[in-house]
Amino acid sequence: MSQSESFPQLPLDVYAEIFIRIPVVQDDSSIKTLIACTEANSQLRNAAIIPSIWQPHYLARYTHSLEAKEAERRRDIKDDWRLLMISRLRLDGIALKALDAVVHLTSDRTTLAREVCTHSLDIFDTIHLEAQQPKLAKEGLASGLTKFYWAKQLSGLIARREALGVWIDCLVHNKNSSWLFFERAIAGLSSFFGVSLTQISGQLDAVSQACRNDLIASGHSVNPEDMDFDEFTGFCKAICTSLRAQGFGAADADNYHNLYNHFPHTFLTTHKHTLPLSLVYIFVVVARRLGIAASPTNFPFHVLAHVSTPNPTHDDIYVDVFNSSTKAILSVRDDIPRLMHQARIQPADMMRHIVPAPAGHMLHRAARNIIGSPPTAPDGEAHPWADRQATAYATGCVQFLTGSFEVLPSIFDCLTAYPLDWALVLRDVLLPHLDPGQRAHLADICDAVVLTEENVLKAVNRRSENSVAIKHFVGMVFLHAHQDYVGCIRGWEPTCMASEEWIIQMRVDTLKRGRNQPFYHILAPSDAPERYVAEENILPCILTPQLAERFIKQVAEISRYFDGVEIGLSDEARGRFLPSPEKLSSYPEEDAARGAGISVQPPLAPHQ
C-alpha cells in the first residue's frame, strides 16, 4: 500500500487550521514542527508556508531586535513571517556557533564575544534561552552547566551594553528630553542582573494593561483630553488605586532600605512594597502609556510625580504615590509650598525641585540611594555575593559617567563576576569618555587583564611534572578542617604561590606543613566565594544533591569551571563536579588522578 493510500490527503484549509493550532512557545519546538511540515509533501508544504501561520511563533520567539535591522528585514521581506523566521534562525545559528566556541575555547573569548555583540539584540532571545539553568537529576548532570554560564554572561553583556548606551545619552550627552529616557534609564539598573530593557518594558506593559482594565471597569474614561479638572485628578487617583490593587505600595520601616527596592526586575515582582522613587517610576510609566504627561521630580525627602493637566488654564498637580492610600493628589498652591518649607528649601530654590526632572538626574539619585542601602537583608543575612557585585558595578558605572573617575578601582573589583566586560564594556563602552591620557592608561590595564586571562587559559598543569604529590583533584568537594564551610577545588599549585604579604597575614608558616605544601584554589558558597586553601585543611566529603544545588545556585563560577555533576553514592564514590572544557585543558590529568584514588581521607558529610 502506498503512502498516499495509507494517509489520504486533507484539504489545504484543514491543514492550515491544524497548523494554526500548533502551540505558540518561545523555544523552537513548534518551529521545528512547521519546518518539518514544509519538507513532508507538497500539500503539507503549501499549508505550512502560509505567512500568517508563522506570525505568532515569530512574535513569541523574538521579543528583542535591533530596531533598524528589524525594520530593514520587514521592508525587504515584506512582512512574510516565514521568511522573517528563516532570517532570524540564520542569526540564531551564528549565535549558537559562537556560544559553543566560547564554551569549548576554540578561539579567544573576547573576539567571539565581540562577534556576538555586533548582532546584539538580534540574537539576545536565542542566547537567553540557553541561559536557563539545567535541572539536576537524582544521579547528577552529565553536562550543560558551562553553556548555561557563558550564555548568561553573553546575554547579560548585551543587556548591559544597551543600558550603558542609554546612560551615556542621559549622563554624558544630556539627552533627557523624552520621558522614555527615564523609563529606560532606571530599567538599565536591572541589566547588571542580566535583565534587558525590553524585558522590563514587557513587565511595565502588563502593569499598564491591568491599570487600563481597572479604570474601564470602574467607569473611568481613558481619554484624558476629554476630562475636566476633577475627573482628571480622579483618574490619577484611580491609577494609584489600581497599582495598590496589583500589590504595589509603600515599604514599611523594616523593609524601606532593602536593596531590592531599587531595581525594576525586583520591585515589579517580588518587592512591590517599595520606595517612593520606584513607585513614582511605575506611576509615570503607566500614566504615559495611558496618555497622561507625567514626569518624576527631584523633590526633597521623597520623589513626587508631576502631572501636566490637559487644560492649560488648570494648575498642574503632584502625585504622592508613596502615600497615595491617604492623600494621592497634592496642590501646587497649598501642599507643595508647605512641604518645601518643611524641607527648608528657600523660595528661590523651589523651582528646580518641582519641575520635571531629567532622566539623568533621577538615575543619579537612584544610584545614590542604592549606595546608601545596607549590605545586609532585613533579616540580617548578607546579600548574595553576586548581587552585591551587580549592585556595585551598576552604581560604579553611574558614578563614572557623572565624572567620578576615582570609582574605577571599585568597578575593577566587580569584574571578577563579569570576565567578558573588561574588553567589551570597560574598554569599548566606558573608557572613550575619559580624557586621552587617562584613556590610554586604563586601556593598557584592560588589555593586560585580558592578556593575563588568555595566558591562564593556555597554561597546562600536569601532576606528572611536579615532584610534590598533589593529594586532591579538581572538582572534589571538601569540608575545611577548621572553618565551617564547604568548598570545591577548581585548581592547585604545588606550593603556596601567594604574595609574601598574604602569607604573613594568613599565618601560613604556622601551619603544620607550612607554605611548602600544595595549595588549592577553591570555590565556596559563602561570603567570599574564591579562596586559597592549604592541603592540610582539606577534608574530602560526599557531594550530595543538596550540596550540588547549593553550589550551583550560590556560586556562579562553579558553572564556568564545571560542566556537570556526579552525585556521591558512598564513601568510596564521593562524587564530584565534572570539569568544563576549560578545566580539562588546564588540568588534563585530573581524571586519572581521581581514578588512582589519590584522595584517601575519610569522608565527612558537610552541614547542608
Q: pLDDT (tens digit, 9 = 90+) per residue, 420-437? A: 999 999 999 998 888 787
Strands 249-250 and 273-274: parallel
Give the pLDDT confidence of 544-588 residue by residue, as tens digits: 999 999 999 999 999 999 999 999 887 778 899 999 999 999 999
Instruction: Give the bridge partners for 293, in sequence order.
Output: 308
Q: State mean pLDDT over 340-357.
A: 89
Q: What percent of the chain has pLDDT over 90?
A: 69
Residues 516 and 571 in one domain: yes
Residues 485 and 418 in one domain: no
**Domain assignment of residue 419, yes or no:** yes
Query: Rounded to the nearest 10 degrees, how much is the dihedral formed by the CA atoms of 59, 61, 67, 69?
Result: -110
Residue 298 has pLDDT above 90, yes or no: yes
Residues 248 and 390 in one domain: no
Distances (CA, A) of 233 to 56, 240, 314, 328: 39, 11, 11, 9
Q: How many residues does the chain have?
A: 608
**Domain assignment of residue 534, yes or no:** yes
**Domain boundary, last residue among 371, 393, 414:** 371
**Domain assignment of residue 495, yes or no:** yes
Residues 408 and 540 in one domain: no
pLDDT for 601 = 37
Give the pLDDT confidence of 113-143 residue by residue, as tens digits: 999 999 999 999 999 999 998 888 888 888 8
**Domain assignment of residue 36, yes or no:** no
Contact 521, 416 (CB under 8 A): no
pLDDT for 269 = 98
**Domain assignment of residue 524, yes or no:** yes
Selection from 524, 513, 516, 512 nearest residue 483 by Cα: 524
Selection from 65, 36, 202, 79 nearest residue 126 by Cα: 65
pTM for the full model?
0.92
pLDDT for 312 = 86
Strands 530-534 and 538-540: unpaired
pLDDT for 462 = 93
**Domain assignment of residue 209, yes or no:** yes
Residue 149's pLDDT band (cuts 50, 70, 90): very high
pLDDT for 604 = 43
Residues 470 and 420 in one domain: no
Residues 351 and 365 in one domain: yes
pLDDT for 598 = 46
Residues 361 and 432 in one domain: no
**Domain boundary, last residue among 430, 458, 486:** 458
Question: First CA to last CA across the chain, in angstroms?
Answer: 63
**Between 108 and 600, the higher pLDDT residue:** 108
Per-residue burial over 83-100, b if 16 or more Cβ lie within 10 Å, else e, is bbbebbeebbebbbebbe
Residues 351 and 301 in one domain: yes
**Domain assignment of residue 4, yes or no:** no
Residue 608's pLDDT band (cuts 50, 70, 90): very low
Contact 562, 475 (CB under 8 A): yes
Residues 427 and 467 in one domain: no
Residue 345's pLDDT band (cuts 50, 70, 90): confident
Residue 597 has pLDDT above 70, yes or no: no
**Between 496 and 444, the higher pLDDT residue:** 496
Looking only at Cα atoms, what is the longest distance across the chain? 94
Set of cell numbers at residue 365: 539619585
Query: Using alpha carbons only, what angle is made at residue 459 by residues 557 and 424, rounded to the nearest 5 degrees?
Result: 55
Using alpha carbons only, how large is the chain's radius of gyration in Å? 29
Rounded Cα–Cα distance for residues 444 and 246 (Å): 50
Q: Which residue is listed with cell 586553601?
A: 533
Task: At 39, give phi and psi (nearest 5°).
Answer: -105, 5
Of 54-58, 151-155, 249-253, 568-572, the poorest mean pLDDT is in 568-572
Q: What percent of the chain has pLDDT over 70?
A: 96
Mean pLDDT over the full length of the chain: 91
Instruction: Give the bridge partners for 488, in sequence order.
Output: 477, 523
Q: Across the chain, how many H-helices and E-strands are there?
A: 27, 14
Set of cell numbers at residue 336: 507643595
Q: Which residues contact 335 (CB under 8 A, 6 or more apart)?
A: 318
Residues 562 and 473 in one domain: yes
Q: State mean pLDDT over 223-251.
A: 94
Rounded Cα–Cα distance for residues 512 and 339 (Å): 67
Residues 490 and 415 in one domain: no
pLDDT for 434 = 80
Of 215-224, 290-299, 599-608, the poorest mean pLDDT is in 599-608
pLDDT for 7 = 56
* Structural domain for 437, as ranges: 385-458
Q: State mean pLDDT over 202-210.
A: 98
Q: State mean pLDDT over 468-479.
A: 95
pLDDT for 603 = 37
Give the pLDDT confidence of 494-523 residue by residue, as tens digits: 999 999 999 999 999 999 999 999 999 999
Distances (CA, A) of 223 to 220, 232, 482: 9, 10, 69
pLDDT for 6 = 53
Residues 559 and 439 in one domain: no
**Between 460 and 601, the higher pLDDT residue:** 460
**Domain assignment of residue 142, yes or no:** no
Query: Using alpha carbons only, what angle is made at residue 132 by residues 130 and 136, rounded to the nearest 5 degrees?
Result: 120
**Domain boundary, last residue among 400, 425, 458:** 458
Say how many domains are in the chain.
Answer: 3
Residue 177's pLDDT band (cuts 50, 70, 90): low
With residue 249 as reference, give the H or E element that holds it: strand 249-250
